[in-house]
């Protein structure tokens, strides 16, 4: 793509034409590719004299054979003063995760919260992070963020991310808005929750049609810790066409039926409410609803299931691979710390967690104190103590195997598209499968692209307790795992 450039660079025809035109009437071939020091100097000099903006004039007046867009990009990402270079600090990483949970792929907005950082930088960081985590079979976000971030609810990562993007993106763009889907596999996913949990709260219809604009993720039976989520704010980058409407469609048009009799319940994989899988995360992990696991075209991540892996429940937990970089480990630590903190927070004030879009917005502008401030310190403290973390590390070998397995299994996932189709046919009413899925390639792209996606309307329950002390719950909560389990492992389903 970085080839010697056609007449007009620019993906943007307008800017391209204007930029390529050249003020001197001379049709200059715009240069592409890496910038040279000389070009940088010219650009810097120009900006110094004329200030930022009017980028197309740069090319016209400075002699640079670069289009305006390219100049702007170069300036913004590399030449602009006060740019912070180098690795992200721990705090920045935490903030990015937090912001992403709230904003989705709104890199520019995220960058606005990170002085000296560019959207491109953040985007690259995130993409890399996603890759790692996906490879490791981990959710993108610390579980508690699911509760913390309203926007979370429907952020579905194209999670796929990586590759997926290409195949899936067009779809996402047309069915939802682009870049609003950023969910990790264990992000909150309404579809993963048994319909009745929503029905309970809003008997009328789909939870997203909830006139109260809120719904509970979890039954109130858990010490009143049902997670109440509120609708996304448009401000938060969740266009009306986004998942919300999607769910309105997919769910409202599909009767929310009682959960199928599918259950995860074995000695090592007891998700019943009675089983104490993870003390600190009880409200989440002990949901009785976990019994419902509906296959979803969602990205099947590593699908090492208790049954198949033969490991004990304890070994089965999502764990950080030793092979993971420090980044991943950091994320895990962070996740744990956040989880601990939030756990206590939630116990104190559950109902206030989501005060709506406005709050989400304000948070964006200024990270919540309890997260930005306390968490930061808590994070370090907790991370230091890291008992669970050690456990994670100890079990990393398991995860490693999971990770290694994942590739293979993910490759095997493709053929499962057909399985999905048959499953859909088998349990048509049990799975609120969106029309687009049926119409399209049956989620092939999703599977291939490992995309979580609106398809989340299907149904695995997610409590995504990453690095939780509740191994079984954790893994069980990972849709990817669940998915893999359900699809790959008849032993479970």
Q: What is the CA radius of gyration of the chain?
A: 23
Q: In whole angstroms, how close is the CB of 56 to DNA at the nearest point?
A: 4
Q: In whole angstroms, how close is the CB of 324 to DNA at the nearest point?
A: 8
Q: In whole angstroms, how close is the CB of 78 to DNA at the nearest point?
A: 5
Q: Which is nearer to DNA, 160 or 225 (CB)?
A: 160
Q: In whole angstroms, how close is the CB of 161 to DNA at the nearest point?
A: 7
Q: Which residues fall within 8 angstroms of residue 14, CB to CB, at 6 or more apart? A: none
Biggest distance spanned by C-alpha atoms of the chain = 78
Q: In whole angstroms, how close is the CB of 441 to DNA at the nearest point?
A: 16
Distance CA 295, CA 51 (A): 55
What are the backbone dihedrals phi and psi of residue 187, each rounded to the nearest 5 degrees, phi first?
-65, 165
Q: Which is nearer to DNA, 6 or 351 (CB)?
A: 6
Burial of 86 (0-12, 13-18, 19+ CB in 10 A): exposed
Q: What is the three-class DSSP state of 30?
A: coil
Q: Which is nearer to DNA, 73 or 489 (CB)?
A: 73
Buried b (16+ CB within 10 A) or exposed e, 450-486: bbbbbbbbbbbbbbbbbbbbbbbbbbbbbbbbbbbbb
Q: How far is CA 168 from CA 84, 158, 191, 459, in A?
A: 33, 7, 19, 20
Q: Which is nearer to DNA, 121 or 378 (CB)?
A: 121
Q: Which is nearer to DNA, 31 or 350 (CB)?
A: 31
Distance CA 463, CA 252 (A): 23
**C-alpha of 179 from chain center:** 11
Q: Which is nearer to DNA, 127 or 255 (CB)?
A: 127
Q: In whole angstroms, how close is the CB of 364 to DNA at the nearest point?
A: 12
Distance CA 332, CA 25 (A): 57
Binding site for DNA (CB under 7 A): 1-2, 5-6, 9-12, 14-15, 17-19, 31-35, 52-57, 66, 68-70, 72-74, 76-78, 86-87, 105-109, 119-121, 123-125, 127-128, 131-132, 135, 158, 165-166, 168-169, 178-179, 182, 237, 325, 327, 407
Q: Which is nearer to DNA, 19 or 376 (CB)?
A: 19
DSSP secondary structure of 116-155: T--HHHHHHHHHHHHHHHHHHT--SS-HHHHHH-GGGGG-
Residue among 80, 477, 46, 55 nearest 293 (CA): 477
Q: In whole angstroms, how close is the CB of 290 to DNA at the nearest point?
A: 30
Residue among 407, 479, 487, 491 nearest 139 (CA): 479
Q: Which is nearer to DNA, 17 or 272 (CB)?
A: 17
Q: In whole angstroms, how close is the CB of 165 to DNA at the nearest point?
A: 2
């Amino acid at each position: 793509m970085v080839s010697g450039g056609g007449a007009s660079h620019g993906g943007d025809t307008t800017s391209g034409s204007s930029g390529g035109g050249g003020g001197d009437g001379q049709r200059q071939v715009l240069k592409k590719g890496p910038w040279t020091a000389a070009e940088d100097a010219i650009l810097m000099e120009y900006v110094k004299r004329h200030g930022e903006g009017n980028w197309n004039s740069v090319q016209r007046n400075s002699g640079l054979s670069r289009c305006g867009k390219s100049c702007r990009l170069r300036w913004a990402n590399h030449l602009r003063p006060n740019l912070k270079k180098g690795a992200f600090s721990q705090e920045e990483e935490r903030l990015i995760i937090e912001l992403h949970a709230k904003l989705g792929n709104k890199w520019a907005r995220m960058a606005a919260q990170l002085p000296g950082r560019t959207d491109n930088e953040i985007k690259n960081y995130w993409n890399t992070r996603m890759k790692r985590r996906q490879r490791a079979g981990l959710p993108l976000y610390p579980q508690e963020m699911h509760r913390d971030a309203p926007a979370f609810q429907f952020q579905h990562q194209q999670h796929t991310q990586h590759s997926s993007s290409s195949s899936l993106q067009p779809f996402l763009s047309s069915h939802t808005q682009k870049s609003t889907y950023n969910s990790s596999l264990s992000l909150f996913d309404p579809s993963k929750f048994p319909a009745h949990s929503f029905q309970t709260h809003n008997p009328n219809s789909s939870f997203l049609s909830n006139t109260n604009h809120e719904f509970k993720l979890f039954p109130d039976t858990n010490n009143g810790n049902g997670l109440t989520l509120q609708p996304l704010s448009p401000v938060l980058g969740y266009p009306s066409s986004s998942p919300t409407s999607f769910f309105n469609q997919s769910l409202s048009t599909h009767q929310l039926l009682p959960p199928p009799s599918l259950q995860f319940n074995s000695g090592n994989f007891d998700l019943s409410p009675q089983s104490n899988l993870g003390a600190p995360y009880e409200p989440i992990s002990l949901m009785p609803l976990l019994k419902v696991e509906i296959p979803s075209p969602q990205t099947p991540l590593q699908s090492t299931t208790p049954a198949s892996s033969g490991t004990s429940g304890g070994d089965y937990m999502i764990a950080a691979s030793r092979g993971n970089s420090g980044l991943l480990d950091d994320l895990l630590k962070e996740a744990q710390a956040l989880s601990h903190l939030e756990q206590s927070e939630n116990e104190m004030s559950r109902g206030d967690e989501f005060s709506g879009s406005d709050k989400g917005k304000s948070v964006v502008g200024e990270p919540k104190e309890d997260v930005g401030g306390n968490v930061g310190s808590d994070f370090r403290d907790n991370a230091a103590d890291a008992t669970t973390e050690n456990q994670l590390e100890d079990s990393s070998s398991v995860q490693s195997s999971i990770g290694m397995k994942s590739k293979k299994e993910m490759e095997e996932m493709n053929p499962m598209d057909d399985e999905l189709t048959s499953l859909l046919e088998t349990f048509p009413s049990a799975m609120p499968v969106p029309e687009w899925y049926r119409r399209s390639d049956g989620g092939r792209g999703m599977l291939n692209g490992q995309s979580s996606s609106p398809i989340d309307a299907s149904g695995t329950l997610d409590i995504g307790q990453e690095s939780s002390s509740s191994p079984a719950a954790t893994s069980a909560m990972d849709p990817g795992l669940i998915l893999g389990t359900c699809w790959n492992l008849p032993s479970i389903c």
